[in-house]
Amino acid sequence: MDRIIISAKQQPVINRLHDAMTQALAYAAAIRDNAQDDQQPIPMELVQSFTADYEQLVSILTEVAS
């Protein structure tokens, strides 16, 4: 397996992003659980807003990976 090399400057920022994304996944799971428990879906507009945020995140990271 190839080793991923990250600069010392980037390491803490990447670690924080990883932590934030891990936490975001936990929040999303909690939202799902609550919606299922309450039998009430969240608005699709909210899902679309989150989708746009993540698409922007991926776009930014893809830009600097090239």
Single pTM value for the model: 0.84
Which structural domain range is residue 37 located in?
11-65
Does residue 1 sit within a domain?
Answer: no
pLDDT in tens, 3-53: 888 999 999 999 999 999 999 999 999 999 999 999 999 999 999 999 999
Does residue 53 sit within a domain?
Answer: yes
DSSP track, 8-61 = TTTHHHHHHHHHHHHHHHHHHHHHHHHHHHHT-PPPHHHHHHHHHHHHHHHHHH
Q: Which residue in the block uniquely carries the two structure tokens 């991926």?
A: 58
Does residue 44 sit within a domain?
Answer: yes
Does residue 57 sit within a domain?
Answer: yes
Number of domains making up the chain = 1
